[in-house]
Homo-oligomer: A and B are copies of this chain.
Amino acid sequence: MVINMINYPSKINKPTKTKIKNFGNRGMSLEYDLNITNDYYLDKDIAVIYKKPTPIQVVKQKQNKIVDAYFKSPSTTDYNGVYKGKYIDFEAKETTNKTAFPLNNIHPHQIKHIIKVLDHKGICFLIVRFTSLDKTYYLPADKLIDFIKNNQRKSIPLSYFIQNAYEIKRKLNPTIDYLKIIDENERINEI
């Protein structure tokens, strides 16, 4: 059953068997979990949410082949899409830190983008996984911005997540059901 879930849907590359054996669910990356979650939402006609391609600066190409290029730092968040007509926008990050989420994980450009999305009434949040604790949180973007404005700290302590974020437990499809958090929290639906 776990294997079925991990392989869902077929278009996503399967992790190597060794990885499954060694780490089980905990070994799956957050990005992987979100990809299969978004595929599930798409296939079941629940929402249309994609990870954006990584921005790349092409320096040199020979016909269709790119022979010199580099990754650019993103100016927006990684994920966006539509749910019930509303604009959904989020960034997903993992940390191995056990007590806090280091804010240098998020580019200043991304913070600006998040503020803009809030201003325009998009539904915006972070999904943060503390890999060592095997805990995944949905932190509403306004709570992120509140923290940054009111603190000098360069990381958000776990206690802030416990108080202000929603934990999302991994489960069978959808793996990381972040839309449920949106549905259940009127504060978010009112935005």
The chain A residues found within 8 Å of chain B, CB to CB, are 42, 45, 47-48, 50, 52-56, 64-71, 75-76, 80-89, 113, 116-117, 119-122, 191
Contacts and interface: CB of A to CB of B under 8 A. Distances in A.
Q: Which of A42, A84, A120 has the most CB of B within 10 A?
A: A120
A10 to B, nearest CB: 15
Contacts of A119: 45
A85 B188 CA distance: 12
Contact of A82 (B52, B54, B120): B120
Contact of A87 (B50, B53, B81): B81
A48 B42 CA distance: 23
A38 to B, nearest CB: 12
A159 to B, nearest CB: 31
11 contacts: A42-B116, A48-B116, A48-B117, A48-B120, A53-B56, A54-B56, A65-B70, A66-B71, A82-B120, A82-B122, A85-B120
Contacts of A66: 56, 66, 68-71
A67 B67 contact: yes
Nearest to A124: B82
